[in-house]
């Protein structure tokens, strides 16, 4: 049975963890789908792990559309989220709708965008017009130059308070999911408890509604693995076995462990 946004909300309500992985092509989509991954994220992280860039910023909308179409072709069960790339949604809600519509037409079930209060009007504009939105708070990879690098966010009291307020505002605006990246576990838990929609953590502790990793980090293929990742392929005999181990670890709460947490 295909997973929908309603399925994910029900999982959150009954405290069943949501397992998410990035995916960029049909072949991996088939494997991850069969292995029980709940959500496939066509991430603009493809700019780094597929294209070899040092950030996500060079990724173009046409490339995201292409990879979304590829992943959709290999997916039967999983919910499919696609990133809006840098520059495709920031100028205006209307620009965001145009870009999001292309990703939805390519097979996405939801689009993801980065930013807090400044994105509230855009989230409302999209959701009121039938496009589900996943928000993204904490470390914002598309803002890496402004943030001064890939650093933990929300350590200071004021920043933590703002992040909680942003999460609430995005939920009110219509966001159906929120990714929390590289924030202290206590803050991610506070955000999760303040919302009624699922939170998906990446370097945000075990108390989010679910977890996401970049596929190539989960398989130990990317040379600069972040602290919050784990190589699930190590000691296993294939990609499907590694993926099933990741799903099981997310579901039973053994991943992320303390050493993957800030």
3-state secondary structure 47-114: HHHCCCCCCCCCCCHHHHHHHHHHHHHCCCCCEEEEECCCCCCCCCHHHHHHHHHHHHHCCCCEEEEE
Structure tokens given for 177: 């999911």
Who contacts 157 (Cβ-Cβ below 8 Å, separation ≥6)?
none
Q: What is the H or E stretch that residue 115 is in? A: none
| Catalytic residue chosen out of the listed positions 16, 76, 114, 181 | 181
Q: For residues 183, 200, 163 and 258, what is the CA-based torsion angle, rounded to 10 degrees?
A: -20
Measure the CA angle with vertex 216, ends 211 and 217; round to 5°: 55
Task: Note if 114 is an active site residue.
Answer: no
* Residues noted as catalytic: 181
């Amino acid at each position: 049975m295909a997973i929908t946004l309603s399925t994910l909300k029900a999982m959150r309500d009954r405290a069943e963890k949501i397992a998410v992985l990035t995916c960029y092509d049909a072949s991996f989509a088939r494997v991850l789908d069969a292995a029980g991954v709940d959500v496939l994220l066509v991430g603009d992280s493809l700019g780094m792990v597929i294209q070899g860039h040092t950030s996500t910023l060079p990724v173009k909308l046409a490339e995201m559309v292409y990879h979304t179409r590829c992943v959709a072709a290999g997916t039967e069960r999983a919910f499919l989220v696609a990133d809006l790339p840098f520059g495709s949604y920031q100028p205006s809600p209307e620009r965001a709708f145009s870009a999001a519509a292309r990703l939805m037409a390519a097979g996405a079930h939801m689009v993801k965008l980065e930013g807090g209060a400044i994105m509230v009007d855009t989230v409302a504009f999209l959701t009121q017009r039938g496009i589900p939105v996943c928000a993204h708070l904490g470390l914002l990879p598309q803002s890496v130059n402004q943030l001064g690098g890939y650093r933990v966010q929300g350590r200071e009291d004021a920043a933590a308070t703002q992040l909680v307020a942003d999460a609430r505002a995005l939920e009110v605006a219509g966001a159906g999911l929120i990714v929390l990246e590289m924030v202290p576990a206590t803050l991610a838990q506070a955000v999760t408890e303040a919302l009624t929609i699922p939170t998906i953590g990446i370097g945000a502790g075990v108390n989010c509604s679910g977890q996401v990793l970049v596929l190539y980090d989960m398989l130990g293929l990317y040379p600069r693995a972040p602290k919050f990742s784990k190589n699930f392929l190590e000691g296993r005999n294939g990609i499907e076995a590694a993926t099933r181990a990741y799903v099981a670890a997310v579901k039973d709460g053994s991943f992320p462990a303390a050493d993957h947490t800030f």
